Every structure is written in structure tokens, then in C-alpha cells.
Amino acid sequence: MLDDTSREIMDIPFLCVLLFQCVVLDNKQMDTNVIIMMMITIIIIIIIIIIMKIGDEQMETLSTGQKYHTFQHDVNEMRVLQALQSELNADKERSVEPKDKQGKTTTTEKDNSTNSTNVHPTKDVLHESKQMDTDNSIDGILHRAGNKMKESCLDGIKLEEILDIIDSTMIKRCASGGKDYGTVVITEGLVDLMNKDDLNKYFNGNIDNGHALLGHVICEELTKRWSCRPHDMYIRSKFLGFELRAADPNAHDIVLARELGYAAMMSCKVRQINATIVSMKGGELESIPLTEMRDPQRRNEPTVKGVNIRSLSYKVAESYMIRLRKSDLGDQQKLRKLAETANCNETAFINNFTYVAV
């Protein structure tokens, strides 16, 4: 069966051939060169018609893709506006002072005037904060650890922070007296968020080199640390690439492949094929334009997708992780074993690893 477009393409060449036959029958003495020229003309007309029809379909597809992209942009803009509006409403609710039954604003008074809180810090408060920075108590150390973590987030991920997280986990594993072996899984995407100084120092400023050499560099740095400790630790790195991609699919992979294939065909069916990628999010089809995968602020660099650390899947995975915890630092017996394993005193261990404790 032919659609309307195909019929239109076939009608005009058919009329040209019919006209050609009529001319030949009426004038049998027509020159051969004239007949050849007429045939060439008919072929050229057919080619021009086909090209025009293809161009019309391409323009229609492009227009549909632009309309879809505009719709997606409007939806995202509306979500942002709704989020901002909800934040403003929440701020207004928090700023409203409580009122009594008569509608008068109530205030809370304290018996002891020394416990009153001022909006602006006084000189005494600033003096106490400076003393806290030099305090070696647990509270002072935790305060400095929080500042160190904030500085790390602002400047980018530092390789030392990654090493301290892994190193503290290995120390805790060895100090527990149980298994003295384990596996650490590291994503290569950490290189994209790494501090520029560390990126230049370890990977010559090349992100691609960082993706390939991240595990190797971490392995070398951890080996240097454990060479000065009483425990013999063999550390090696393995880049999972072909082994992981060539593995047999499990049940989840099979279901996901079937759903993605169906989603891709549905996207093509509704003509949303103009530079889009199909994904499944929350069990629903989502068509994402490739332009949204680029960060305008980072030019030609791809957008880094973060991990939702508040999601249920992450919380479940974190519960199975062996990590240094703040409760371990509060237990004197555990702290003593951790310091002995790290070949340092307790104060030095707290100063070095408190900021990575969870």
C-alpha cells in the first residue's frame, strides 16, 4: 500500500511517460536523439520531485523536534519557578512571629540575662571562636574538620581526601581483627570534579589521563602510606572495562534493554528523533535532548551527573560500607587500636581523619 506522498511522487512521472508514448505514436519518424533527450528530462523531473519531498519531510521533523525541545524547556522553567515560589513561601512562614490569642506578637523571655542571644556576634563571641580553632578537644577538632570539608567542596575534590577516606576504612578493617582484605570501588567521574592543582600534579591536567590512571595513582599513594606501618598490605588496582561490558546480562539488564528498545521506537514514532537520547526514569519514558547534556558554563565539557546521597538506594548501599565513623573516635578502646594500626598517636589520628568520618 502506498501513502499519499508516494502516490504524488508516482503520478507525475506516470503522466510524463504517457505523454512521451503519445508523442512517439503520433510521430514515428522522430529522431533518436530527441527521444533520448525526452527520457533524460523525465528522469531529471523524477529526481527533483523526490528531493523536494524528502526536504519537506526533513523540515517537518526538524520543526517537531524544535517544538518538543521548547516544550521541555518550558516545563523545566516552570518547575524552577515553582521551586523558587515554594522556597519563598517557606521563608515567609518561618519569618512570621508567633501570636497569642489576642493577635499580639509574643516574645520569649529568659530568667537569666546571660543566656540571651544577640543577632550580631560580640567581641567575646569572636574571641571564643578564635580559641575554638586552637582547641584540641573533640568539639574543636570537629569544628576544624567541618571547615576543612567546606574548603574541599569549594575548591573541588582533592586526591588527599579520597585517599583519607579509603585509608581510614582500611585502618578500621585491620584494627577490627576480622578480615584484613576487601574491595574498594571508585568511579572515574571523580576526576571531572577534581581540584585543578591535583589534576595538574598527578595527571598533567588531562582529564582523559585521569580517567585511566586514577586507580593506579591511588594504589601508589596508599602503598607509600602503608609502607611505614607494621602491617604488610598488598594493594593493586584493576580497571573494570571489557570484563564488565562483556559479562552475561542478568535479569535486570534484559528487562531494561527491552524497555529502552520499546521507548526508542515510541520516540521515533512520534517524530522525537532530532538529537535526543531515550532513558527510563522512575519506570517512565523520558526523552532528553543532547543539548541538555552539555553545561553552557563548561563549554564543550559534558555535564557531570551527581549521585543523590539522600535516595533510598544510596542509604542501603552506605549501610553496607565500612567507613570510619565519629562514634569510633569517641570510643577510647577503638581509638587506641586505630592509632596503633595507623602507626601514630591518638591525637594525630583524630586530627588527620576526623573530617572524613561519617
Q: Where are the beta strands (DSSP E) in the chain?
A: 276-281, 284-289
Average pLDDT on 150-175 reads 84
Closest CA to 253 of 243, 242, 245: 245
Where among 22, 40, 67 does a domain terminate? 67
**Among residues 218, 171, 224, which one has the least CA distance to residue 340?**
171
Q: What pLDDT is attached to residue 112? A: 39
**Cα angle: 137, vertex 138, 144; to 5 degrees:** 90
What confidence score (pLDDT) does residue 92 get?
53
Q: What percent of the chain clears pLDDT 70, i.e. is strictly above it?
A: 59
pLDDT at 156 over 50: yes
The grid coordinates listed for 44 are 531529471
Asked whether residue 35 is assigned to any structural domain, the reply reads: yes
Quick check: 266 pLDDT over 70?
yes
d(CA 212, CA 210): 5
Of 108-117, 182-191, 284-293, least confident by mean pLDDT is 108-117
> For the chain, what is the domain count?
2
Query: How large is the average pLDDT for residues 289-303?
Result: 68
Query: pTM, whole model, 2 decimals?
Result: 0.53
How far, in Å, are 194, 259, 275, 276 from residue 286 at the CA level?
30, 12, 14, 10
Q: Check residues 209 and 101 and name the one with the higher pLDDT.
A: 209
Whether pLDDT at 131 is above 60 = no
Q: How far apart are CA 166 and CA 218, in angstroms?
A: 9
CA distance 271 to 212: 38
**Which of 47-61, 74-88, 102-116, 215-229 shows the highest mean pLDDT?**
215-229
Q: Please report, for the chain, how many H helices and E strands are present, in that order.
A: 13, 2
Task: Specify the higher pLDDT residue, 340 or 150.
Answer: 340
Residue 146 has pLDDT above 90, yes or no: no
Confidence class for position 236, pLDDT limits 50, 70, 90: very high
CB-CB contact of 194 with 208 (8 Å): no
Minimum mean pLDDT among 47-51, 92-96, 121-125: which range? 121-125
pLDDT confidence of residue 335: 93
Which grid cell is 39? 527520457
Question: Which residue would you say has higher pLDDT here, 331 or 269?
Answer: 331
Residue 353 to residue 344: CA distance in whole angstroms: 12
> Diameter of the chain by CA atoms?
124
pLDDT at 265: 84
Q: Which of 257-261, 304-308, 341-345 has the lowest mean pLDDT?
A: 304-308
Q: What is the pLDDT of residues 328-352, one digit of tens each?
A: 999 999 999 999 999 999 999 999 9
Q: Which of 77-86, 134-143, 164-173 has the lowest mean pLDDT?
A: 134-143
Q: Which of 21, 39, 67 is the last residue of a domain?
A: 67
Q: 210 Cβ partners below 8 Å, 6+ apart?
A: 188, 191, 194, 199, 202, 203
Q: What is the pLDDT of residues 278-294, one digit of tens each?
A: 887 777 777 788 777 76
What is residue 332's predicted lDDT score, i.e. its pLDDT?
Answer: 92
Between 166 and 117, residue with greater pLDDT: 166
**b/e for 299-311, b at 16 or more Cβ within 10 A?**
eeeeeeeeeeeee
pLDDT band for position 48 (cuts 50, 70, 90): confident
Is residue 41 in some structural domain? yes
Q: Region 18-27: what's the mean pLDDT?
A: 57
Q: Is residue 329 part of a domain?
A: no
Please report the pLDDT score of residue 275 as a whole number.
Answer: 75
Angle at 18 between CA 17 and CA 23, to 5 degrees: 95
Residue 129 belongs to some domain of the structure: no
In a domain, 271, yes or no: yes
Domain assignment present for 112: no
What stretches of 176-247 show up as alpha helix (H) in DSSP? 196-203, 207-226, 242-245
Asked, for residue 319, whether it belongs to a domain, the answer is no
Kindly report the length of the chain.
Answer: 358
Is residue 355 very low, low, confident or very high in pLDDT (cuts 50, 70, 90)? very high
Residue 34 has pLDDT above 60, yes or no: yes
Q: Is residue 303 in some structural domain?
A: no
Which of 114-128, 208-222, 266-280 comes out lowest in average pLDDT? 114-128
Q: How far apart are CA 43 and CA 60, in angstroms?
A: 26
**DSSP secondary structure string, 86-103?**
HHHHHHHHHHSPPB-TTS
| C-alpha dist (Å) from residue 292 to 24, 169, 207, 238 | 61, 37, 21, 33
Final residue of a structural domain among 256, 283, 298: 298
Residue 257: C-alpha distances to residues 68, 129, 248, 265, 333 (Å): 25, 57, 13, 12, 51
User: Does residue 118 register a pLDDT over 80?
Assistant: no
Q: Are 218 and 162 in contact (CB under 8 A)?
A: yes
Ramachandran class of 27: left when φ > 0, alpha when ψ lies in -120 to 50, beta otherwise:
beta
Question: Which range among 31-45, 47-61, 205-219 shows the weakest confidence by mean pLDDT?
Answer: 47-61
Residue span of the structural domain in which 33 resides: 4-67
Instruction: Name the phi and psi angles at 96, rounded to 5.
Output: -75, 130
